[in-house]
A and B are shown apart, each in its own frame.
Chain A
Amino acid sequence: MPLLDVRNLTVEFKTADGQFRAVDGVDVQVDVGDVLAIVGESGSGKSVSMLAVMGLLPWTATVTADAIVFDGLDLTTATAAQRRSIIGRDVSMIFQEPMSSLNPCFTVGFQIREALKTHLSLTRSQRQSRAIELLEQVGLPEPVRRLKAFPHQLSGGMSQRVMIAMAIACKPKLLIADEPTTALDVTIQAQILELLLELQTSTGMALVLITHDMGVVAETAQRVSVQYAGQKVEEQSVGTLFADAHHPYTHALLSALPERANSRRLPSIPGVVPGQFDRPAGCLFSPRCSFADERCETVQPTASASSLGHARCHYPLSKGVPLARAELQS
């Protein structure tokens, strides 16, 4: 049984112009010790789907799912008390905007000690020494001094590391990291990713990593889930995904990597992601897909076999070439 099992998750927002579907039937499975990367265009629902798991969306959001099970407990039916004992302790999250998630009125030390107080039964001095240990772990120099600092006295990279320290404070079984290193320089990014992987190997912590940096995905993840316009369009192990992407969106995305270019002109995906009012009737990627035909424009594709990366496509690619219908049926 997976540690986290999310089935058919849908999130809709109430907006001035009506309901907007930000997440559309997404499945997520994460095992103990897994490193799952979630990638995809900006606005494809990566953050919203994980915030839904954490139960942290505003009231304007309507969340539906067949199941959201964490460590044997169905979070959709759990009591508030049951949820509180899990969220923040066994599952924790590093949020996309580090500056806005630290409280500017309290010192870093106070905030870390509060997190420890809520979930663990430690004495005052144990909490203080654990806080120091955590800042050392995330590589902040002079931890004792930093604990007395207010968030505005820290650089972007330092606040990011404080956030990470808080997220791992209670030794979570699952850490959801939403763009944890985007604000950081590459040398610091390398240190942080190494730390997260070290925790994953030494404690069996599972990691969900949301990022748009394909380099980070390649070097950190075991599995990759690709989202487009609220839907999961492909999922594969990292090695096979980079070698042979089956969904045309994934394929186009990887071709746009500058390091894969063999001329000064990069292959690029024309157009933009569909919005609230121009969602196509068929495949959501069809208006931008170079392989789309009439069927793609009218009929919604379902997920294909796992050997084809569960690609949500009528004509999944193999080595960049769409499989003919006949081949699929045989």
Chain B
Amino acid sequence: MSDAITGPLVRAKNLSRHYEVSGGFFGKRASVKALSNASFELYAGKTLAVVGESGCGKSTLARVVTMIETPTAGELDLDGYVISADNELSDSQRSQLRASVQIVFQDPFGSLNPRQSIGRILEEPLLINRPDIDASQRESMAREMLAMTGLRPEHYERFPHMFSGGQRQRIAVARALMLNPKILVLDEPVSALDLSIQSQILNLLVELQERLGLAYLFISHDLSVVRHMADDVMVMYLGRVVESGPAQTVFSNPQHPYTQALLSATPVADPSRKQTRIRLQGELPSPLNPPAGCAFNPRCWKTEERCRGTAPALEADGSHSVACYYPMQ
């Protein structure tokens, strides 16, 4: 759609996804604010990483960006189409967009149908979305994709259980690429893998990005992987973006205390470097009953009265933004 090479492929404005659940106090309806007010841009050939601890809303964001779920508020501009709570797309727009945004799930074991051959798995997206392509063409496209993702021609007839974890993750990447997407959402693509297999998959992703100009929304809790892959980083806590900016800047000069704590808690594979750790108290509060004010305040060592009042807004200083009343100096 958008031919301008310089424009972003994805632009999110105050994107939110809340879930109504009946698990509140005294069985009252309550709302889980899984994602609140996320704004970001993603460009062709670039990687935006989303980091944060379990339950902070990373997968929710992935589901919204891949149109598995619609946002409950805010606006998502995907490759020129605008999606929002009150702007449903037509079916044809939707299927066109589905082709340009694809997702690779975390679990290389659960996400492949065990009864389908690899060839069938790769051809299925074409079968559903591209009625104009005939069977023999589908097969040759699937075989081409096997080669591109480092799999072998004889794998075409085989079934998922015959593959190692790393190979299955290659298959998942291959399947996601069948419709020629521009945007790939990667939800923890290497966290189930061994170090040696992890490096094979990361290399594959780098190579495909360089070759095809793909934009990656890269979700991971492993900061050393993020540091290696990302151009930009977005740090989330309890459904909100607390810090974002170029990866270099955020890693070398973290402004939010949570980002600092996360960085200091991440073990470094270098025994000669003994780092002093920031000790956080307690754990992530329940998203059903988040603390008033800044959600991080009960665990933060810099908390003042103000932090328990209203939540700080994300303030930009150039390309680096932080949501904190007392950012690090």
Contact = CB atoms under 8 A, between A and B. Distances in A.
A256 B199 contact: yes
B150 to A, nearest CB: 10
Contacts of A268: 196, 199-200, 203
A264 B283 contact: no
Nearest to A190: B265
Contacts of A327: none
B198 A256 contact: yes
Given A187-B261, A253-B196, A256-B198, A218 B268 contact: yes
B238 to A, nearest CB: 13
Interface in B120-178: 164-167
A187 B225 contact: no
B271 A258 contact: no
Nearest to A183: B54
A185 B58 CA distance: 14
22 contacts: A185-B284, A186-B221, A187-B280, A187-B283, A189-B265, A214-B269, A218-B268, A219-B274, A220-B267, A238-B271, A239-B271, A242-B271, A252-B196, A253-B195, A256-B199, A257-B195, A257-B224, A258-B225, A266-B202, A266-B203, A268-B203, A269-B200
Contacts of B229: 258
Contacts of B165: 42
A68 B167 CA distance: 37
Contacts of B224: 215, 257-259
Contact of B266 (A186, A253, A260): A186
B270 interface: yes
Given A190-B277, A269-B196, A272-B166, A215 B221 contact: no
- For chain B, which range describes its interface: under 10, 10 to 19, 20 to 34, or 35 or more residues? 35 or more
Interface in A234-274: 238-239, 242-243, 252-254, 256-261, 264-269, 272
B269 A257 contact: yes
A188 B283 CA distance: 7
Interface of A: 41-42, 141, 156-157, 185-191, 193-194, 212-220, 238-239, 242-243, 252-254, 256-261, 264-269, 272
Interface in B253-290: 261-262, 265-272, 274, 277, 279-280, 282-284
A145 B144 CA distance: 58
B227 interface: yes
Given A186-B262, A259-B227, A217 B199 contact: no
A185 B227 contact: no
Report whether over half of chain A's contact residues are helix, strand or loop; otherwise say mixed.
Answer: helix
Contacts of A258: 199, 202, 224-225, 227-229
B194 A42 contact: yes
Nearest to B54: A185
A242 B196 contact: no
Contact of A185 (B166, B221, B228): B221
A187 B53 contact: yes
A254 B195 CA distance: 9
Interface in B30-84: 53-54
A155 to B, nearest CB: 8
Given A214-B269, A259-B268, A41 B196 contact: yes
Interface of B: 53-54, 164-167, 194-196, 198-200, 202-203, 206, 221, 223-225, 227-229, 261-262, 265-272, 274, 277, 279-280, 282-284
A12 B55 CA distance: 41
B267 A218 contact: yes
B107 to A, nearest CB: 14
Contacts of B54: 156-157, 185
A215 B228 CA distance: 15
A219 B268 contact: yes
Which 4 residue pairs are nearest across A and B when measured between Cβ atoms? A215-B267, A258-B228, A256-B199, A268-B199
Contacts of B53: 185-187
Nearest to B264: A190
Nearest to A224: B271
Nearest to A161: B283
A219 B164 contact: no
Nearest to B299: A187
A186 B221 CA distance: 8
Contacts of A264: 206, 228
A239 B272 contact: yes
A19 B198 CA distance: 30
Nearest to B51: A186
A215 B262 contact: no
Contacts of B206: 264-265
Contacts of B283: 141, 157, 187-188
B199 to A, nearest CB: 4
Given A239-B272, A258-B224, A258-B229, 4 more contacts: A41-B196, A189-B265, A215-B266, A258-B202
B194 A261 contact: no
Contacts of B266: 186, 215
A214 B202 CA distance: 17
Contacts of A186: 53, 221, 223, 262, 265-267
A292 B221 CA distance: 36
A158 to B, nearest CB: 9
A242 B272 CA distance: 9
Contacts of B271: 218-219, 238-239, 242
Contacts of B280: 187, 191
B173 to A, nearest CB: 15
Contacts of A260: 269
Contacts of A261: 228
Nearest to B228: A258
Centre residue among B165, B195, B224, B279 by max chain A CB count within 10 A? B195
